[in-house]
A and B are shown apart, each in its own frame.
Chain A
Amino acid sequence: MSDLVVEHLEVRYGDLVGVADISLKVRAGQVVALLGSNGAGKTTTLNAIAGVVRPRGKVEWRGEQIAGQPAYAIVSKGLALSPEGWRLFVAQTVEQNLRLGATALADRARAAALFERVYALFPRLAERRRQLAGTLSGGERQMLALGRALMSEPQLLMLDEPSLGLAPAVVEALYDTLAELHRQGLTLLLAEQSILLALGIADYAYVLQTGRIALEGPAADLQKNEQVREIYLGIATRAAAP
């Protein structure tokens, strides 16, 4: 059984089409990647699932239709979105940002344990707990964004381009962390332009093109498929040829 089932999702921004027709599934324990170039509709899809924008179609979470519910209601059902660009509260401290992340917790007493878990995962955040989020480095901001999303103890964590604008070494560390979280049982839905990285940890992937699913399959298959690499992922496999 799938935890998240999206069928014929459509989002319009006035007359403009954000996504036209998206169907996807995420099972508990999986890492699912949403791939696609600029404007393909990855952000719109995640925002619709998280309740930031109102979609048409079906968004079912553990058997309950949640499409159209406000974001604050959806996060308390166990679906957290770390939005594109992270959207940290830059005028507040690291600790305040993390505490805000715990707002949706049903059991307030869990917050202390979650603080410990996040600080263990990112010791740099623990050192900087009193520092304003706006003064963190790019890598630290990314840690805080991920930590903040984990503070609601989500059953499904959606990340929108977590590697955007980060140095390669930082991105690598991030993906190590994501892989570790996956091993611990976290379910991930990941929108990425860094295709090879995302396919590296994903079990299953969807390739979006102008608001539709152009292609889907197990990540390992997509990684091997040369035609896919060239046409949809824009990776020139024959670049090395003379």
Chain B
Amino acid sequence: MVAVQVIVGGLLLGAIYALFSSGLTLIWGMMNFINFAHGEFVMLGMYVALLVVVYIGGGPAIFGIAAAVALAVLGIAIYFSLIRHVIRGPMLAQILSTFGLALLLRYTAFWIFSANFVSLPANALSGTVSLAGVYLPVAQLVAGIVAIVLTIGLHLLLTRTAVGSKLLAVAEDRTAAMLMGIRPDRMQALAWGLSAGAAGIAGALMAIAYPWSPSVGETFVLIAFVVVALGGFGSVLGSLYAGLITGLIQAVSAFWLGAIYKDIVVYGLFVALLWLRPQGLMGKA
């Protein structure tokens, strides 16, 4: 039973990895831009959730949506104020711009919130449930399931709607998309909004179940890199599978090898994967 509990716990955390990683794959795989600040978007989503709970009140639905909207707006603002100016510049300018942004967001968070670990006050999702003998915190269960639903929702948005089709068209061939009458700038801004919004709500879901400090972004961005590489650049469904697998591997190695080894195992597998299948597990050759 303990083994089942470890596995389910890993998958539920992995679902949240999947959600924020699908945001990264949107920008990285589709728009070919590496956002090193993506982990900080998740971190900010966590603090938005905290601020909403403390100062405004309301349940997970309220602070989850608040985090998504706040980060989506931030993502769009960052696109227009920063990314647009470096997107066709040299690679180094791209890397430095979002790397600098990551540091700026991280240390602003340190300054405002201090380095202490915090967690959300007890809410409607506190407590545990027992499913067929497996004990799970309600918060983890709800956060994981919502994350899976949202990731699938993002996949459907991209593949089944007119706006998703336009977004993919810009990603595939910017010039041809312009010849159709699509304004690439708007689609890129939308991609940044969706990407940051997904990170924001993933942060809020994470905050329901786990404590955090301003430095979590660093870990999350690395995990997102692993998940995106594993799932294939640009594939949201790939991110879903890869996120679940990553959460699972982490949980299993933490349980059987010890907590300090969980990240080493994940990054070790990541390096091995880049060696053996640079296109990702799910990616096309």
Contacts and interface: CB of A to CB of B under 8 A. Distances in A.
A50 interface: yes
Interface string A88-111: 111110001001110110000000
A100 B182 contact: yes
B172 A91 contact: yes
Interface size class of A (residues with CB under 8 A): 20 to 34
A103 B182 contact: yes
B175 interface: yes
A219 to B, nearest CB: 27
B178 A52 contact: yes
A103 B176 CA distance: 12
B interface secondary structure, majority: helix
B5 to A, nearest CB: 40
A103 B162 CA distance: 9
A80 B181 CA distance: 9
Contacts, number: 63
Interface stretch (A70-78, A122-130, A185-193, A195-203): A70-78
A83 B168 contact: no
Contacts of B179: 50, 52, 71-72, 75, 80-81, 83, 87
Contact of A87 (B162, B165, B175): B175
A152 interface: yes
Contacts of B166: 100, 103
A70 B183 CA distance: 9
Interface residues of B, number: 17
B181 A75 contact: yes
Given A99-B165, A100-B165, A89 B173 contact: yes
Interface string A17-51: 00000000000000000000000000000000011
A148 B177 CA distance: 12
B140 to A, nearest CB: 35
Contacts of B176: 83, 87-89
14 contacts: A52-B178, A52-B179, A76-B181, A83-B176, A87-B179, A89-B168, A89-B173, A92-B168, A99-B162, A99-B165, A100-B169, A100-B177, A103-B166, A104-B181
Listed from nearest, the 7 A-B pairs whose CB atoms lie closest are A104-B181, A87-B176, A71-B178, A103-B181, A75-B181, A103-B180, A100-B180
